[in-house]
Structures are given as structure tokens and as C-alpha cells.
Amino acid sequence: MERDIKSLDLDELAELVQSLGQPAFRTKQLFQWLYGHHVRSWDEMTNLPASLRSELASSYPLRTGSVVNRQVSKDETRKYVIEFHDGACVETVAMPTFSSDAPDRLSICFSTQAGCAMGCSFCATGKEGFTRNLTIGEMIDQIVIAQQDLGMRASSLVAMGQGEPFLNYDNTIAALHIANSPQSLNIGARHITISTCGILKGIQSLSHEPEQFTLAVSLHSAEQQVRDRLMPSMASVPLERLKEALNAYREKTNRRVTFEYIMIHDVNDTKQALEHLVSFCSGMLCHVNLLPINEIVGSPYHPSSSRTMKHWVETLSRNGIETTVRHSRGSDIAGACGQLKNSL
């Protein structure tokens, strides 16, 4: 069976080059063409022998995702529906920020899976079901496509699009290593965030990675019954065990964890919910991002009031918990958190 060359990690590329009887420096050349120059055909790899290119092309196709839909929000956020060779589609969101009316920074939210198996009740992606894991190259393709469309380099990345990154851990981490590499996208590890619903094995594995990637956890409630209702696939992971895993992560890495908390009126924004969140965050090195839920067609959920948001920020801050209200961008093109579902 043919295997896409961009599905191989760096060690596998080196093994392939060696198996073909080529000198080790060919691995670096191959990497540079794939992830430094982002070429779309073997013929563009001009410093590789023609015989090697022909041999690689016969067994390792060079595939690149293509944009089948592109939308631009009134806030300049861009959303792309990207299709891969087998018809699987994902959504990628590019969020430029401006200084003196000119774009000066670019954050890209990319997907790690086509669809999602987590089934969170507030998220449109989960309602579409799960298709498959993405390859290393398919993740990098999303970033490159957005950069080229905007004509600027990404300054930060967020693995927070479709899918649960820790259910595709090896490919996701390999893609982040490439994004961080000076020979590729050269994005600082501290500017790369990986978001999880709370997969304990993934949290533990990330604590052993040498790079200082940022960990974000989709919490959404510190009340067990409420979280189980919002995130049924995580019901097997008690909040107590999640907190233990995050404290162990902090002890190993000395890095802060970010909690993503979507605020839903009369669901997880009550007085009791706030008390539970304060208690859960107590003693942890963490930052809380509060996000008013984005409206989704057919959803029974509605965002918390601005008064409630203000009260939560004041209470959390008073208890020594760093808190930010984050307003999602691109909601008018269904490109905000929880809205991604490959709409054309």
C-alpha cells in the first residue's frame, strides 16, 4: 500500500533514506523540500538525484490538501475547508491581528482529526462524527495554506480545531516538532498550544516532551455531573483524577495550564458552578479563559450575560486565579470555538 511521504516522522524519513542506500544528508534535503519549501511535486526537489525522486514517487506519493471553501469574517478572520486526497475534510481558522491597520501577527487554529469522536454536547464538530486521524503532513498543510493565503508567517499555533489531539498523539507531536523546527516554520514552542478534553495518558506523555508547548484543557465545568453532561465521553475521568494528572504535569514541567471554560447560561454559570471552579483551581498553577458560548443552530445553549461574566472574572481574580474573558473570532462565518463542521 502506498504511503504518503508526509505521513512519515523525522526518524522514519531517515530510515527510508537509509533503506534506499542513500547518504544520511539526503534526509535533511528531503525534509527541507517537504517542510521548508513546501513543494507540491517530486520534480521540484532539484538537488535530489532523478533516480531517487523516481523511486520515491513510485511508492510514496506527495499529497497536499486543497482549499474547497474560504470565508472571510468581518473581523478579518479567515476560515478554510481543506480537502485531502481521500475526500476527508477539515476546517482551519486563521486569525490575524493588526497594528496601525496592517496585519502584524497571525494565529492559526488547525485540526488534528477529520471530525471528532468526543461528542461534546455544545460542539458542532462532534455532531458530525469522526472520520479519521490526520497525518503529520496534513496538519502542516493547514498551517502553510493559511500562511500563503495571508502572505504572512504564523506567530502562534493552536491545535484546537476539529478533533482531540491526544487521540492522535504521535502525529500531532511530530507535526508540532516540525512547526517548531528552524528548518521549517520556526514557531517558538511557547507559542504553540495543544488543547485536550483531558486525556490523562496524553497529559502524562506531554510532560515528557522537551519542548515547552503550552497545554490547554477544555474544562467547561468543575461540577462532575455537569461536566459529564456537557462532555459525556469524559465521564470515565473523574475531575479528581484530572486534577491529579495536571498537578503531576506541573511538578514535572513547572509549566502553567490553561483552562478553557465555555460559559453557558443557567448550565455552568451558576453560583455553585463558580464555587466549584474556585475550589478546583485552588493550589494549581493555572489560567482560566472564560468564553461566552457561540450560538449553534439547533442548540439549546445560550451564552452567559455580560454581568455574569464580569462577576466570574472578579471572583476568580479575587481568589488569586488568573482569568481572561476571550471572545471568539469568526463567529459570523461559523469559524469560532465549537462551530467547526466543514460547512461549505
- List residues with catalytic annotation: 91, 337
Cα(169)–Cα(213) distance, integer angstroms: 13
Q: Are 223 and 113 in contact (CB under 8 A)?
A: no
Q: How far is it, in rounded angstroms, from Cα 48 to Cα 50?
A: 6
DSSP label at residue 83: E
- In the chain, the amino acid numbered 42 is W
Q: Check: CB of residue 192 under 8 Å from CB of residue 229.
A: no
Report the chain's terminal Cα–Cα distance, integer Å: 32
Separation of CA 32 from chain center? 24
| Sole residue written with cell 539526503 | 26
Pick the closest to residue 330 from 70, 3, 67, 84 (CA basis): 70
CB 227 within 8 A of CB 220: yes
* CA pseudo-torsion sign 310, 315, 320, 323: negative
Task: Please name the residue that has the C-alpha cell 498537578.
Answer: 247
Q: How far is CA 15 from CA 9, 18, 135, in A?
A: 10, 5, 18
**Quick one: the chain helix, strand, coil %, rounded to 5?**
40, 20, 40
